[in-house]
Amino acid sequence: MPTSLSGRHFLRLLDFTTEEIEYLLKLSREFKNLKLTGTPHRYLEGKNIVLLFQKTSTRTRCAFEVGAMDLGMGVTYLDPGSSQMGKKESIEDTARVLGRFYDGIEFRGFAQTDVEELAANAGVPVWNGLTNEWHPTQMLADILTMQENFNYDIKGKTFVFMGDAANNVARSLMVVCSKLGVNFVACGPKENMPDAELVKTCEAIAAENGSTVKLTEDIKDACTGAHVIYADVWVSMGEPDEVWAERIRLLEPYRVTKEVMAMADPSAIFLHCLPSFHDTNTTIGADIAERFGVTEMEVEDEVFESKQSKVFDEAENRMHTIKAVMYATLS
């Protein structure tokens, strides 16, 4: 039976089968080819979507806006100050209003319960652009980039996340790798490992797909022979400034360096969901350098700018994969 995701929400990848995820990735490749060849694909002409942002973003907003316009849709962007949701109007009431105006709703914010409440009340597909718990659209871009670099043969490859493995990106990567038969390794301090119950769930999923899940504090154990080394910022959006000192103390040993990349397979690539603190050319980067003497955080600039780094391919792929999600759920 052909895969159909029509009318579905896209809130977390745990809700999707291996076949459904593979279908979205295949669709993403098709949309990327259409974009690169300049072939019009306004397949959703006349539809409209709204982007609800509690947390600002460059890639997520641009990927949804350009992707939607390529598909022929109209787009409304509501930044944190442009909506009464959660202030003067409940999430439930906001969902019921927006569901009358729009064909789809994207939410990027804090609590997973917020996007779930939107989905429960909107009557139209709702897409999770990021919450504190999950980042499903990023995962599709990450995996598409991995596929492109390994001739679309990723089953049995090893994917290592370095650093704060308790965050939304690491949790989501563990899920998608398990679903697709990719060996997942979380490498970081024991204080920053994924929730034990989620690990147990992913271990069972991975076993069904012929792969493994491993948690380790040992960098050599994690990275030797790995095919993907992945890093993310050490302090996530919305976390208090006071956590920087402790995170730097805990995570500095897990910075991705050229020595780390040398442990990996010769064909290994480096990925990062961006933005990245690989130098001091940002206000936060400069502030951290002044306060703590750290000029490179989760990844060395030499690695970030190397040929192994595919971070900008990965960023572009957000657009193609998000387009696939919107098309699949709105068709």
The residues assigned a catalytic role are 108, 135, 138, 232, 273, 318
Q: Taking the mean position of all CA atoms in its chain, how far away is CA 36?
A: 23
Q: Rg of the chain's alpha carbons, rounded to an integer?
A: 19
Angstrom distance (rounded) from CA 247 to CA 267: 30
Which residues is 258 bridged to in the sheet?
none
Angstrom distance (rounded) from CA 120 to CA 93: 11
Angstrom distance (rounded) from CA 57 to CA 43: 26
Cα end-to-end distance, the chain, whole Å: 17
As given in the structure block, the two tokens for residue 254 are 């897990």
Angstrom distance (rounded) from CA 136 to CA 304: 23
Angstrom distance (rounded) from CA 293 to CA 100: 52
Contact 75, 322 (CB under 8 A): no
Helices (H) and strands (E) in the chain, counts: 13, 9
Place of tokens 């600002």: 56
Contact 28, 41 (CB under 8 A): no
Distances (CA, A) of 52 to 61, 81, 128: 10, 10, 10
